[in-house]
Structure 1
Amino acid sequence: MEDWKEYRLGEMIQCNPQVKLEKGKSYNLIDIDSIEIGSRYVKGKELTVYDGQSGCHFQNGDTVMARITPCLENGKIAQVQCESQKGFGSTELFVFRGTENKTDSDYVFNLMSMQFIRNLAANSMTGASGRQRADLGFIKRIKWNFPPLPTQQKIASILSAYDNLIQNYKKQIEALQTGACELYKEWFVRFRFPGYQTAEFENGIPEGWKIERIGNIGEVIGGGTPSTENEEYWDGDIPWLSPVDLSDNTNVYVSRGGKNITKLGLQKSSAKMMPKDTVLLSSRAPVGYVALAKNPICTNQGFKSVVCNTSVIQPIYLYFYFRMNKNYLQSIASGATFPELSGSMMKKLKVLLPQMELQKEFSKKANIFISKAELLSEQITNLTQQRDLLLPRLMRGALEVH
């Protein structure tokens, strides 16, 4: 490490570099919601006409990092990989890029992703509570021991191999979930279910099927949040979910969120313990995130979950029903401050109920897709843990690279 040298970040990294965009031309737009925690790359949203809007400018290979709380602390950081090659985005994003003959842009992404750097950036925050923002000037002054450019590239190559494999597995998971969704649509939207050729229809639906209200086929359960001022309510062994825990969830099943509560916290709040296979539906901020409970779990008040009466409806069927009807759920939500699905609205919501035999057959086939996706998800977790262990050791020179 004799040839490693300490510099301030601003001396080695381009911070919010200039990117020239043409007015009237379309580019990919990146906002904070575009960035998925744990995913290296962000492609941006649909092409949007640039007319001089304020905000950050970037090009492929740049690193975009949230500067506002709590997005910065939560790890909203990614490397740009968008169709338009250049783009623009939120004013709440910093942009970082390698400097020619000094730093590699892939190395820069890994450096800015380090918990150590993000913690320092978070410590620089100023502003009103809940809207604090990191100080770019402070970030530029952070000191770091930089290796020579060829070593940076070797380090980045090792870490990129993990990220690319993780990305590949995520694409496979997406394909499997698309397959399960297509099966649902084929059977229950297009009505091409097994035996449909000889099925009789009555009032627009197959004979023997029903339309029933949620309140009649399961128990609708809300949630609650223990007081954050009482430490005895938190860091226990009871899984507790908030909608943000499902915002980046790619799995059908979820076992826990970012926080756990204690038995006392459960007792002293309106949170309720729900059994395995409960259909967890976010009912506000935003409406429509859905998952199945992999184990007993509770949620905050941003959910209206359904414990299914399995003699009339299969949880997996209801999961896909909610997933396929997300736009409709959002359209019927109401509220002065933010749209919300109330408990009474959920209970009145109508669901198409195929015959139980067909639901079970669908659940069995859908589980083939889901099980394969779960295995891939476990591999992603293992790879992520390995990468996260390697990251600080490689970046600090504790491991030799050849």
Structure 2
Amino acid sequence: MSWPLKPLNELCLLAVDCVNKTAPVVDYDTGYRMIRTTNIKGGFIDLDNVRYVTEEVFEKWTRRSRPQYGDVILTREAPVGEVGRFTEDVNNVFLGQRLFHYRPDPDLLDWNYLAYALLSRQIQGRLKGMGFGATVDHIRVGDAETLAIPCPPLPVQRSIGSILASYDDLIENNQRRIQLLEESARLLYKEWFVHLRFPGREHVKVTNGVPEGWSRRRLVDVTSKIGSGATPKGGASAYQPEGIALIRSQNVYDYRFDSSGLAFINDEQADRLSNVEVNGSDVLLNITGASVGRCCLAPDYHLPARVNQHVMIIRSDSEKFGPHYLLHFINSYREKQRILAAAGAGGSTREALTKSFVQNLEVTLPSRTLMEQFEDFAKDCFEQKQKLEMQNIRLAKARDLLLPKLMSGELAA
């Protein structure tokens, strides 16, 4: 079944490009949030990891439009073709550059359907084609305005949108639970090891900010492995549709492993990288580029795996301390600033961490009893989080299998 194609500027109340220059940001929470291309992915909009601006900048940058519930956003550049939708009411949020803003006419176009139409293989292929060939891949404003999508009757649109959104609603709910688990472990680490409000503190003497019985050790002395890998010969062209996972910097975020874009290599390629085989709960640290310093734990559900040259494995010695404590230590504000400074983040040269720096990074080790109490709590949070992440991977696969069949009419909505 084929449905007529109709241009989006005829189906939307609003189809506008955002201000095409960078808004000046501030380094504190003003309540005025800027959404960037990095916040748009896979039909979702990340409203947490945002930049902030002053009220004056917000008013200036929202003269064309202000997003609201049901709006759909398309990235025109860096990257081309990512899609997100506002699934809740938002206040004091605006869109940064390279984002195109659609507000469907509810009498003509269902907003969920629009998002999934833009995510469909057919439209994604056209978007990538529009963006190809320029110095930097990008979609022209005029092309974004007049982009034509299949337009079934409105009741069919609503049914398709509702079916697919039900999967994403479950994913979003799981994601909120994941964030709560992450936050629980972070708050406990901060309470015990930053503010030093740990159990039994009233009986422990503190000298120069270090409780009695705690110590400072070099990372190389309390780990069993520190090392990074390589890209297989042939680069991206050597990647396989399935096989052994190859973890790259784009998969590693603070506290979070991003499975999208995960590369795979064959057994022969993996054998050449046997020295960087990943174990469950290894700490992964990005050591080059704009993402330098990002750090998470390796998830069990992507093993076996290797890392490339941009990601370092740090494997804690279980006799001395645990991986969950190490993760939170590296991601703590003080240590993160030290790591970024050492990498030259924000400078004119390419950011990078040397193996020597990581080996000689000093880590604070609390008492064994306190360490074990924290590890038990954080490990439980991590295991619950992994179960939810695996559910989300299965839900996303099921949704992605349905999407082309519903969009083509092969399955009746």
Q: What TM-score do the two structures reach when normalised by structure 2? A: 0.81
1:83 aligns with 2:90: yes
How many residues matched? 390
State the 1:353 CA deviation. 0.7
In structure 2, do the counterparts of structure 1 residues 257 and 215 end up closer, same or farther at CA, with 3 Å as the change threshold?
A: farther
1:391 aligns with 2:403: yes
Contact residue 59 and residue 87 of structure 1 kept, 8 A: yes
Deviations 1:174-211 (A, max 9, x none): 11111111111222122233332322334432222110
1:299 aligns with 2:307: yes
Secondary structure, aligned partner of 1:59 = coil
State the 1:232 CA deviation. 5.1
Query: Which residue of the partner structure matches residue 210 of structure 2?
Result: 205
Secondary structure, aligned partner of 1:16 = strand
In structure 2, do the counterparts of structure 1 residues 57 and 223 end up closer, same or farther at CA, with 3 Å as the change threshold?
A: farther
**Counterpart amino acid of residue 67 in structure 1:** R
State the 1:13 CA deviation. 4.4
State the 1:27 CA deviation. 5.1
- How many angstroms apart in 2 are the aligned matches of 1:177 and 1:211? 26
Which deviates the most, 280-289 or 266-275?
266-275
Deviations 1:11-51 (A, max 9, x none): 4346733789xx9999532211222x345234354354147
- How many angstroms apart in 2 are the aligned matches of 1:278 and 1:286? 19
Secondary structure, aligned partner of 2:16 = coil
Contact residue 244 and residue 266 of structure 2 kept, 8 A: yes
- How many angstroms apart in 2 are the aligned matches of 1:308 and 1:159? 42
Query: Which residue of the partner structure matches residue 390 of structure 2?
Result: 378
In structure 2, do the counterparts of structure 1 residues 186 and 18 end up closer, same or farther at CA, with 3 Å as the change threshold?
A: closer
Question: Paired residue for 1:333, among 334, 339, 343?
Answer: 343
Which deviates the most, 379-388 or 137-146?
137-146
Unaligned runs of 5+ residues in structure 2 are: 25-29
Contact residue 216 and residue 365 of structure 2 kept, 8 A: yes
Matches within 5 A, 1:3-402: 5-13=4-12, 16-17=15-16, 28-35=33-40, 37-38=41-42, 40-43=44-47, 45-48=51-54, 49-50=57-58, 52=60, 57-60=65-68, 61-68=70-77, 71-72=79-80, 76-80=82-86, 83-84=90-91, 87-90=94-97, 92-99=98-105, 101-128=107-134, 131-138=136-143, 143-218=148-223, 219-228=225-234, 231=237, 234=240, 237-247=243-253, 250=256, 258-266=262-270, 272-284=276-288, 285-293=290-298, 294=300, 295-325=303-333, 326-334=336-344, 336-401=348-413
Deviations 1:194-240 (A, max 9, x none): 33232233443222211011122223212222233585565562221
Contact residue 13 and residue 99 of structure 1 kept, 8 A: yes
**Counterpart amino acid of residue 321 in structure 1:** F
RMSD: 3.5
Secondary structure, aligned partner of 1:347 = helix
State the 1:122 CA deviation. 0.2
In structure 2, do the counterparts of structure 1 residues 62 and 217 end up closer, same or farther at CA, with 3 Å as the change threshold?
A: same
**Counterpart amino acid of residue 331 in structure 1:** A
Q: What TM-score do the two structures reach when normalised by structure 1? A: 0.83
State the 1:259 CA deviation. 0.3
Secondary structure, aligned partner of 1:287 = coil
